Amino acid sequence: MSVKIGCIADTHIPTRASKIPEKLYETFNLEEVKFIFFAGDLVILNVIDDLEMNTNAEKIIVVHGNMDKYEVKKKFPKLEEFEILGHNIKMSHKLKNIPLKETEI
């Protein structure tokens, strides 16, 4: 079984851009992306709300980055560990947050 995953990070909304480009939503929907991995620096929570409203992804998995506001850091972890289709995945904004001795890359 195959599954499409959309990866996104460093949108820095609203400090560097006003919103996620519509083309991203169109692409994720056209490609039938099932999971979205957001690897931090969204900056504000509304970005996740927009992804949920504008994509057909089943699940959005988020970690916070170094530039995220307090509300984002409070809601999402620095390191997320999860399983998809029998594969264990660790995701972080910074590689230094992932315990590499315990991780197969």
CATH number of the domain bearing residue 39? 3.60.21.10
- pTM above threshold 0.95: no
Provide the pLDDT for residue 103: 57
State the pLDDT confidence band at 97, using cuts at 50, 70 and 90: confident
- Count how many domains the chain has: 1
Q: How far is CA 73 from the centre of its chain?
A: 13
Domain residue limits at 62? 5-102
- Residue 102 confidence (pLDDT): 63
pLDDT at 87: 87
Residue 80, number of CB atoms within 10 A of its CB = 18
pLDDT at residue 101 above 70?
A: no
Please count the CA atoms within 13 angstroms of the CA of 53 that sit on its side-chain side.
Answer: 7
Q: Is the model's pLDDT at 2 over the cut of 90?
A: no
